[in-house]
Chains A and B, each alone.
Chain A
Amino acid sequence: MAKISIENLRHSYLPFPDPAREDQYVLKKLSIDWQDGGAYALLGPSGCGKTTLLNLISGLLIPTEGTMKFDGRDVTRATPEQRNIAQVFQFPVIYDTMTVFDNLAFPLRNRGVSEAEIAPRVKEIAEMLDLSRTLYNRASGLTADGKQKISLGRGLVRSDVAAIMFDEPLTVIDPHLKWQLRSKLKELHQRTKRTMIYVTHDQTEALTFADQVVVMNNGEIVQQGTPVELFERPHHTFVGHFIGSPGMNVLPCEIKGGKTFYAGQMIKAQNEKALKADGKFEIGVRPEFVTLAKTGIAADVVKVSDAGRFRIIETISGGNTIRLLLAEDVSVPSGQVKLAFDPEHTQIYQNGWLAGAAA
């Protein structure tokens, strides 16, 4: 188990990238610290570099620039074996010719652990993952989720791993089993207290699994925080859009004399005192914090969609779309409405970044 520190990490898949050209790098100058025993998620759209970052941490890739330390020990150029990490991949990797038991024992046998120690350890892991019943079956005969459990088990079987990496491990799992495996993972984390890093593009997976979520976009870390922080105080409009369903409303605004105006109306924002200099200013407010009011911003209702326990009302105001959520039992207005934003949850963004937040 280890604390993972990454400093100024850059990575390019080209053999000789030009350091001056940002576009040749899939990861651009990342620095981050991860505490021992934490459950972290790397969340971002496809192609944002999250899998690359994961493979760099596990040692399957060597970074172009920067250093990586496990508990202060420099492991930048160490192999996965030297780093002693475990990794679970997107598609289940099993050794077809082996039984479930042999599959789970494989990482231990490769490290010369005695059979006397292996047997109880493998049985314990199989018990945790509900694999005991099929322990002596051929692994190739199992279903996709059974196979992915084996992959998971091979990650957990070594008691001394520095960290366990998950690369979108639930992609091939049926929806109803996804939920089960996800809770299983959470439970395993609480039981074993290993550092776990979970890559996904699915916000539900990230927010339910992790204590700390790292949102990435375009090779950069946009924000790291708890699920609540990401929801309530997105540091970038990208995070606002990406997390939440529907995403945050982002509206152009004007700043005059330290006050914020949208469509001629003054808007109170939680961070309005932090505004500095000029640039492009935007208001960010989540649909959850937009309400119908007697006075406020004029908007026209254009679409109502039912999302189960609430309805999503889409309105147009001065050419911008503003979404809000309405409880089931509230009658849906039509035509012109007035909207109010909750000042506690309304933020101002300057050039995309939350004003006043340390980026």
Chain B
Amino acid sequence: MSNKIVNQKAWFLVAPVFLVVAFNALIPLMTVVNFSVQETFGDNVFTWAGVQWFQDVLHSERFHNALLKQLLFSAIVLAIEIPLGLAIALTMPRKGIWVSFCLILMALPLLIPWNVVGSMWNIMALPDIGLLAKMINGLGIDYNYTRQPVAAWFTIVLMDVWHWTSLVVLLCYAGLVSIPDAYYQAAKVDGAKPWAVFRYIQLPKLKHVLTIAVLLRFMDSFMIYTEVSVLTGGGPGNATTFLSIDLVKIALGQFDLGPAAAMSLIYFMIILAMSWLFYTLMMKNEES
């Protein structure tokens, strides 16, 4: 132990990582913290505000509404995308020429820039020229997402499912193909029915992958901004004004930098807390 070589030069090797993390995360975050406890009208003049902005945000009805909408959106999206993604992954072929075809098909939505996704669905769902709107209206259902909150929600959820279910599919598929053949063979020999194979082999083996899928989809859906901003801009009225959209409105629309900074930090804490909660719950039964 005592003659272990101590080489402090190793710190230089990790310095680049420190720098990158500092500039893209720590310093911006500290700037936000700085803004959140002060009042400013520009010109680099700051006055101390203490926890004023935090209290304001936490007691504001506007924030509560946006948070509720955000939570509802994440809940709906998770409830659809996780089972759907798992179901699609289970039906995808494991070998043969169709594998690459299916994988590429699944990866396509993930390759499209987010604002393009918003624009695509915007055009598709426009009441006068959109294909989707024409089809739904053709079925005799009155659908106009620029006027009806329910229609707007429906369109956003549909867009998100289209855009992100693939991620769940790809994760689950990767988990499924990594299950050794012997498990399926043993199940066959043991006389297990398809449901039992799913329940006792596939689902337990996919646990970690599903945890990651839930975490990623929760975090992303809870922070969704670009697509919604392009598609509805938070409307009609405030029907789809999620936290992220509201935050931008406060920060860049109203230029209330202090409250916006306080809101960002609260937003960040909520995501952190929820992710921890999901992770802990899903890993609870893990032994050694």
Give residues in A with beta carbon < 8 Å to B: 55, 58, 60, 79-81, 85-87, 89-91, 93, 95-98, 106-107, 110-111, 138, 140-141, 151, 154
Contact = CB atoms under 8 A, between A and B. Distances in A.
Contacts of A80: 188-189
Given A91-B182, A140-B287, 11 more contacts: A58-B189, A80-B189, A81-B189, A81-B191, A89-B185, A91-B180, A106-B200, A110-B192, A110-B196, A141-B287, A141-B288
Contact of B186 (A89, A97, A140): A89
B4 interface: no
Interface string B257-288: 00000000000000000000000000000011
B237 interface: no
Interface of B is mostly: helix
Given A110-B193, A140-B287, A95 B188 contact: no
Interface in B174-198: 180, 182-183, 185-186, 188-193, 196
Given A60-B185, A93-B183, A110 B191 contact: yes
A107 B191 contact: yes
B204 interface: yes
Contacts of A140: 287
Given A95-B204, A141-B288, A87 B196 contact: no
B200 A151 contact: no
Which of the listed residues B186, B196, B205, B288 has the most CB atoms from chain A within 10 Å of its own CB?
A: B186
The 8 closest A-B pairs by CB, nearest first: A110-B191, A93-B186, A89-B182, A107-B190, A95-B200, A96-B204, A87-B189, A97-B204
B201 interface: yes
Contacts of A154: 186, 190
Contacts of A86: 189
Contact of A138 (B180, B183, B196, B287): B287
Contacts of A107: 189-191
B204 to A, nearest CB: 5
Given A91-B182, A97-B204, A106 B190 contact: yes
Nearest to B183: A93
Contacts of B201: 95
Contacts of A79: 188
29 contacts: A55-B185, A60-B185, A79-B188, A81-B188, A81-B191, A86-B189, A87-B185, A87-B186, A89-B185, A89-B186, A90-B182, A91-B182, A93-B186, A95-B200, A95-B201, A96-B204, A97-B204, A98-B200, A106-B200, A107-B189, A107-B190, A107-B191, A110-B190, A110-B191, A110-B192, A110-B193, A141-B288, A154-B186, A154-B190
User: Contact size class for B?
Assistant: 10 to 19
A91 B204 CA distance: 18
Contacts of A87: 185-186, 189
Contacts of A111: 191
Interface of B: 180, 182-183, 185-186, 188-193, 196, 200-201, 204-205, 287-288
Contacts of B185: 55, 60, 87, 89
A91 B188 CA distance: 16
Contacts of B182: 89-91, 93
A89 to B, nearest CB: 4
Nearest to B191: A110
A140 B200 CA distance: 12
A278 to B, nearest CB: 49
Nearest to A154: B190
A82 B186 CA distance: 14
Nearest to A151: B186
Which of the listed residues B190, B191, B192, B287 has the most CB atoms from chain A within 10 Å of its own CB?
A: B190
A97 to B, nearest CB: 5
Contacts of A98: 200
A80 B184 CA distance: 12
Contacts of B186: 87, 89, 93, 151, 154
A140 B207 CA distance: 14
B98 to A, nearest CB: 15
Nearest to A61: B185
A85 B204 contact: no
A97 B183 contact: no
Contacts of A138: 287
B134 to A, nearest CB: 46
Nearest to A96: B204
B192 A85 contact: no
Which of the listed residues A87, A91, A93, A141 has the most CB atoms from chain B within 10 Å of its own CB?
A: A93
Nearest to B190: A107
A90 B191 CA distance: 19
B195 to A, nearest CB: 11
Contacts of A90: 182
A136 to B, nearest CB: 14
A52 to B, nearest CB: 13
A60 B189 CA distance: 8
